[in-house]
Structure 1
Amino acid sequence: MNNTSATNVIEKFSEWQKELGKAEGTVKTYVGILEKFQAWLHEKDSSLNQISANDVQLYMNHLEEQQKSAGTIEKYLAAISVFSRYLGRSEIITGIHKKEKIKDTDIPDSLEETEEKRLLLEVELEGNLRNIAIVYTLLYTGIRISELCALNVEDIEINNKKGTLFVKNNKGELERIIPLSKEVTNHLKKYIYSLSTNQSALFVSNAHKRISTRAVQYMLQKYNVNPHKLRHTFCQKLINKGIDIQTVAKLAGHKDINVTKRYASALEPNLKNAIDRAFS
């Protein structure tokens, strides 16, 4: 599609937004973002009518490389998300990773030790091997829910009692490697042995299709937790055990070290306490 065609689709999108009663300022912002996105796509010999999830992810990475703020990147992705709905292709923004918007004072909500033990006990008593494996994987690896749903059986490597999880991006390229603890290795091993031999997706629904993020969220609601809280618990536990911030950031896949530093904020009162006890 040439630039003229791209202009036409943006104009039609603009009219669609106005018909929906969107504010003029909002429509103008969306159009401006789409024009910039189209200019970037044009350099890559692509166009708005042909965009894929990979294009969107690469553009988010490009914005981050341009030192755009998390708020700006979030605004760009929101505009592209609305445009994807206009195209009837909402799947192109599924699982997109972007710079996380944070406040320096925010300390992520995580599970207390007693809450964690209760969660694991509840899910194990229920006896569903898939759900047990999902909870342990989220809690003991800190992967994002989109990364969990994208896992294939081949992304888990188990040798005796040791295991490794390979996290890949939308292009199938390796992003990071996470060693697995004995507990999560054991539960993944039991679950994988129960699967059909010709199954590629690691976690599947009752309809034998790759599990969706919504299905995982719904399952976790039974235990009064969400994927974000399990991820935060993973990071907070590492920080509490004295693991350095760079290592935690690498395991969690944080591109911005400031995201990881939030977890260290929770330790500041304890550090002051330690000095008071030692030198008072």
Structure 2
Amino acid sequence: MSAIQTAFENHLMEDGKGSATIASYTGDIKGFIKWLNEKKMPFEGKLTRLAITSYRKYLLDSNYSVNTINKKINSLHSFNHFLISQGLCHEKVVHPQKDKIKVAHGSEAEVVVFSEVEVERLLFFLENKEQVTLRDKTLVYILLYAGLRVSELVNLKIQDLDLLTMSLKVVGKGGKYREVPLKPEVAEIIKAYMETDRKESPYAISEYLLVTQRSGKMDTDTVNKVLKKFGKNLNMTIFPHKFRHTFCTRLLKKGVDLTTVAKLAGHANIQTTASFYINTSREDKQEAVGLL
């Protein structure tokens, strides 16, 4: 990593950005600089409008998704501001309003969610004690009924739990806290896990809720492996963020207002919730037209 990239990473940390956001931004910038080097345009601290528009075209030609391209534009916009603050670049060359890919409202990429039938199949599968540990059942219930990001899940600490009031204190993006109520059955499963499997773990004194046989803190790779194994058994595609999409979508379908869903999901802007979940899935659209 170059000195400029390291300085940018430090800048994001000082600005209070969360670890996932920092990894996303720095990864995007690393990819951009790698692309510049491949084009024989080594990066020395100055961004040009030509480089930005050419890179945008490259992303489009490479069939990156709209969301991925727009995320990379956001990262470059932040990097542009940082370079100006350091005196390395003297003008704004990234313009999100102009550079982001726009799609017609209602034509956004469909959010991938579990159907109610799939949710039921998964819940029945979790009752199989021979194939599912209490820890893994706990992590699925928290993902499904609390809508946490996988980074928030693995960072949950014992002190963040209040099983009397049945709530979680979640540290979200940018270190912001939010409180998420727990369904009684979720609180019961967490309690059962803490009083049995977790108490017998080599890392029982860990401050983190989810532990493994080798570590006092479960990592995101392990969560993904657990869910992938479940998906193979059920012949379903299962990944952490699919639970979050399902959580928000189910709430909206049950008539919960957008503001409340945004607060429960930890979205800083209600527009984020609206843009993702007002248009939920291809099946919902097909069902709506079928009502005509």
TM-score normalised by the chain length of structure 1 = 0.62
Contact 1:102–1:259 (8 Å) recurs in 2: no
Partners of 1:71 and 1:174 in 2: CA distance: 23
Task: Give the aligned partner of residue 155 of structure 1.
Answer: 160
Give the match's secondary structure for 1:166.
Answer: strand
- 1:177 corresponds to which residue? 179
In 2: Cα distance, 1:32 partner to 1:116 partner? 50
User: Which residue number corresponds to residue 42 of structure 1?
Assistant: none
2:112 to 89, 109, 113: 109
Alignment CA distance shift 1:170-1:271 (3 Å): closer
Q: Cα–Cα, structure 1 residues 272 and 73, in superposed 2: closer, same or farther, change >3 Å?
A: same
- Distance in 2 between the 1:148 and 1:258 partners? 24
The answer to whether the aligner puts 1:23 opposite 2:39 as a matched pair is yes
The structure-2 alpha-carbon separation of the partners of 1:207 and 1:249, relative to structure 1 and needing over 3 Å to count, comes to same
Q: Using the alignment, how far apart are the partners of 1:265 and 1:9 within structure 2? A: 39
Note the residue ranges of structure 1 that are not aligned, 5 or more in a row.
1-5, 34-68, 80-100
Map 1:1-280 to 2 at 5 A: 22-25=38-41, 27-28=42-43, 31-32=45-46, 70-75=71-76, 104=105, 105-125=108-128, 126-159=131-164, 163-169=166-172, 175-194=177-196, 195-196=198-199, 198-224=205-231, 225-261=238-274, 262-266=276-280
> Whole-Å Cα distance in 1 between the matches of residues 155 and 279 of structure 2?
32
Q: Distance in 2 between matches of 1:260 and 1:111?
A: 18
Query: Hey, what's the Cα distance between the residues in 2 that align with 1:184 and 1:144?
Result: 17
- Contact 2:135-2:210 at 8 Å conserved across structures: yes
Distance in 2 between residues matched to 1:247 and 1:144, nearest whole Å: 17
Deviates more, 1:184-193 or 1:237-246: 184-193
Q: Deviations over 1:40-68 (max 9, x none)?
A: xxxxxxxxxxxxxxxxxxxxxxxxxxxxx
Partner-residue secondary structure (3-state), 1:222: helix
Q: Distance in 2 between matches of 1:165 and 1:9?
A: 34
- Whichever structure has more helix as a proportion of its residues is 1
Shift of the alpha carbon at 1:31?
Answer: 3.6
What SS class does the counterpart of residue 178 from structure 1 fall into? strand
Does the aligned pair in 2 maintain the 1:239–1:248 contact within 8 Å?
A: yes
Structure 2 CA distance, aligned partners of 1:78 and 1:215? 32
State the alpha-carbon separation in 2 of the partners of residues 199 and 217 from structure 1: 21
The AA in structure 1 aligned to 2:140 is V
1: distance between equivalents of 2:255 and 2:173? 32
Answer whether contact 1:163 1:185 (CA < 8 A) is retained.
Answer: yes
In structure 2, the CA distance between the partners of 1:217 and 1:272, relative to structure 1 (3 Å rule), is same
Q: CA deviation at 1:186?
A: 1.3
Report how far residue 190 of structure 1 moved.
0.7
- Check the 8 A contact 2:138/2:190 in 1, yes or no: yes
Equivalent position amino acid for 1:167 in 2:
V
1:144/1:227 contact within 8 Å kept:
yes
Q: Is the 8 A contact 2:138 2:186 kept in 1?
A: yes
TM-superposed CA distance for 1:256, in Å, is 3.0
